[in-house]
Structure 1
C-alpha cells in the first residue's frame, strides 16, 4: 500500500464520526440517540463544536448545518476529536476511555484503520420493505393522527427525513483524485441510494433503472455492512456498482449494474425510529410549552372577556341612542330627498329657458314687434356684448358672423354681417364711436 495514501488516511485519526459520538453517549447513558441529540442541542453544541465533512482528497471542511438537522448525514460528518474530548457535556460521560475508543478501531490487512463497530451497528439494523415501513409507521399511533401511504412516504424521502435504499453486495468502484488511473475496485456489502430513488417509491414499474454517472444523481453509499479495506471513500463523483470485476475503467460500462427490482427498496428501521422520536419530542415540547403558558393564557382570556363586556355595554348604549333618534333621522332624510327633487325640477326648468323667448326691450320697457332677425340680435348682444368691457379686446367680426351662421339655419352671410354691424359696441367699431 502506498505510503502517501497511508499519510492521507492518517488524517482521519484526528476526527471522530458524529454518529459515533451520539451512539457512544447513548450507550454510556442508557439513552436513545434522539435524547442525546436533544441533550447536545440544549448545551449549545453548534456554538461550541464545528461539524466537518471529508472530501475525496481527505481534506476536512466545516459543514454549516445544525446537529439536529443532519439526519443520516451523521454517518458521513465528523467532529475534531480533540474538540469533542474537551467539550464538557460529552467528556464527563467517559465515552473517550481507552477501551471505548481503541477497541472500535482496527487495522485491516493493508494497515488501514476503520471503525468495525460502525459496520456492526449497520448490520444489526433492520431494513424494511415499503409495505413493512408503512405498517410500522401506521402502528405508531402515539405520534401521528393521519395514516401513512406511499405518497406520504415519498414526501418524507423527498424532504430527506427518511432515506430509501437498496441492498448490493459485490464490486464497487470509484475514482481517486478524479483520475482514471486511480480507479479503485473493492468488494463491499451494504445499502446504497441516489437522489431520485425517492421518486420510485410510488412507481408501478417492476424494475428500476440504476443511474450511471448522472451529475446530481450519483449512486452513494448509505450504509456499509462489510468491506475489506479502509481505502474506499464515497467521493463527490459517486460510485459504480459492478456485477463483476472490470479489467479497468474502460470496462465498467459492460459490467455495471443496470437495474434492480422495484420491491428491493428498503428503509432503515433505525432511521424510522429516529424520525418518530423527533416527532414525539416535538409534540412533547409543544405540550410542555402549552402547560407552561396556561396561566398566562387564562389571564389574557379574562382581560379580553372584560374588554368584550365593556364593548357590549357601549354598543347597547349606542343602540338605544340610535333608536331614540331614528324617527328624527328618517324625517330629515325624507326632507333631504324632497329638497333634492325640487332642486332637480328647478334645474330642469332653467335648462329649458331660451333666450329666443325674450322680446327686444327698448327704452321705457316698451315691447316691440319681434322678428327672427331681432331675436338673433338679442342673442348676439347676450352672448358677446352684455358684459363687454371696452378695455378688453373686442370679438372679431368673423367670430360673430361664424357664430350666427352656425347657430341659426337659413341665415345668409350678408344678414349675419349686418346684424354684427348693428349689434357691435360703439367702442369696438373700426372707426371708433359714432360721431354725433
Structure 2
C-alpha cells in the first residue's frame, strides 16, 4: 500500500467517524421530525440540533438564548438570560475514542503509519470545523474555537493510542521472534561487561553499583505508582459501573413510572432513551464519585453522597429515578470500595516489583509506591469527574455533577493510604497467577 492510498483510506475513515457521531443524534431527530412534526418544520433545524448534541458530547460549550415563547414553555427561572450548556454526554466521546483507536490501529498496520495518522486527524478537524460553522444558529451557538479543537483532540487521542498500541504489539512479536539470538548476544555482552567491571578499581565499582541500584529502584517506584494507580482507578470505575447497573435493576419500577408520567409517546420515549444512553458514562462516573465520598450535585445547593441526599427540583429524566432518597444507614459502606481496591492492587503490584531479577526495596520505597498509586488514581478520577460535570441549564441547573478537586483529593487519600498499607503487608502474601490459555491461529492452507 503506497503513501497516497494510506492517506485516502485514513481520510475516508475519519469522514465516516464524523458521520457516525452526528448520525447517532440525527437519525432519531429525523424520525421525530417525520413522525411528530409531519415534515412541517425545516429539517435543517434538526441538523443543527444533532451537530450541537455531537459537539456537546465532545466537550464543546453551547451558548443558549431562549426566546420569550420558549421561556414561558419551560418555566425555568433565569432562562430569559443567555446561559451555557457544558454538561457533556460522554457517550459521544467514548464512541469517538473507540473509533479513533480502530483508525490508529489500521494506520499502524501500513508501512506509512504517520501518513495515515496525520491524514485522519486533519480530515476529522476539517469536518468538525465545517459542522461547527453549520450549527451556528440564533437559539443555540457552539463555541467556534472549541468546535474546531475539542472533537479533533478527542479523536486524535484515540488514533494515537490505537497506533501506539499496535506498534508495541508488533514490537513484542518481533522481539519474541529473535529472542534466542538476543539471549546469546546478551551472554556474550555480559561476559565482556564482567571483564570491564573487573578492571575497574573498587571505588569506581562501588559508585557504579550504587548508581545502578538507585536507578532501578527509582524506576520501580515510578513504574509501580503509574501502573498501580491506573489499575486502581480502573477497578473503582468497574465497580461503579456494576453498582450503577444494580441501581437500575432495583429502581426499575420507579424509572418506568417516570416514563409513564412524561407521556412522550413511542417516538418521544425512544428519543429520551437514546439521550439517556449517551449519559451512561456520566452516570458511572457519578456513581464513582458517590463511592469515593464527595458525591454529586444535581443543582446548586443539592448533594447526593453516602452521608445523605438533599435534592431540590431535578430534570425530568426517568433514569434519575436511581438517585437515593434521604439518609442511608449503609451508605458509608461504599467508602470501602476505593480503600479495598487500593489495598488489593498494591499487593498485586508489590508481587511484580519483588519478582525475580528485581532489586531489593526498602520500606520507604514501598510506602512511596503506595502513596504514588493514590496520587495517580486521584488524578485520573479527578479528571474523569471534571469531564462528567457541567451546566445543564440556567439558574440552579448550572451545577450538575461531582466536584473534581474534591473527588481527586479524597480518592488520592483513600487509595494512597490503603495502597501504602498493602505495599507493607504484601511481602508476606502470595497472589496465585492463573494461566490464561491462548488460542493459536490455524495456519493458512
- Select the structure of larger CA radius of gyration: 1
Higher share of residues assigned strand: 1
TM-score range, shorter chain: under 0.3
Compare relative contact order (CA 8 Å, sep 6+) and give the higher one, 1 or 2: 2
Higher share of residues assigned helix: 2
TM-score by length of 2: 0.21
